Chain A
Amino acid sequence: MQQSRRQLLRLAGSAAVLGAAPRLIVSPAEATPAMLATAIRNVVGEAAIHTGKVKLDIPPLVENGNTVPMTVSVANPMTADDYVKSIHVFNEKNPQPNIGNFYLGPHAGRAQISTRIRLADSQKVVAIARLSDDTFWSATVDVVVTLAACTEEVL
Chain B
Amino acid sequence: MPSALINVPAKARRGDIIEIKTLMSHIMETGYRHTASGAVVPRDIITSFACRYNGREIFRADLYPAIAANPFITFFTTATESGKFEFEWIGDKGFSETASAQITVE
- Chain A residues in contact with chain B, CB under 8 A? 1, 4-5, 8, 24-26, 28, 66-68, 91, 94-96, 98-105, 107-119, 150-155
For residue B6, CB closer than 8 A to chain A, the reply is no
Size class of the B contact interface (CB-based, 8 Å):
35 or more
21 A-B pairs in the complex with CB atoms less than 8 angstroms apart: A1-B36, A4-B35, A4-B37, A5-B36, A25-B34, A66-B68, A95-B32, A99-B64, A100-B66, A102-B59, A105-B58, A107-B77, A108-B75, A108-B76, A109-B76, A110-B76, A113-B61, A116-B71, A116-B72, A117-B66, A154-B41
Contacting pair A99 B36 (CB below 8 A): no
Contacting pair B65 A95 (CB below 8 A): yes
Contacting pair B36 A117 (CB below 8 A): no
* Pick from A66, A115, A152: contact of B72, CB under 8 Å: A115
The answer for the CA separation of A68 and B66 in the assembled complex, in Å, is: 10
Chain A residues with CB below 8 A from B1, complex form: none
For residue B40, CB closer than 8 A to chain A, the reply is yes
Contacting pair B17 A104 (CB below 8 A): no
The answer for the CA separation of A66 and B69 in the assembled complex, in Å, is: 8
Chain A residues with CB below 8 A from B34, complex form: 25, 152-154
Chain A residues with CB below 8 A from B68, complex form: 66-68, 115-118
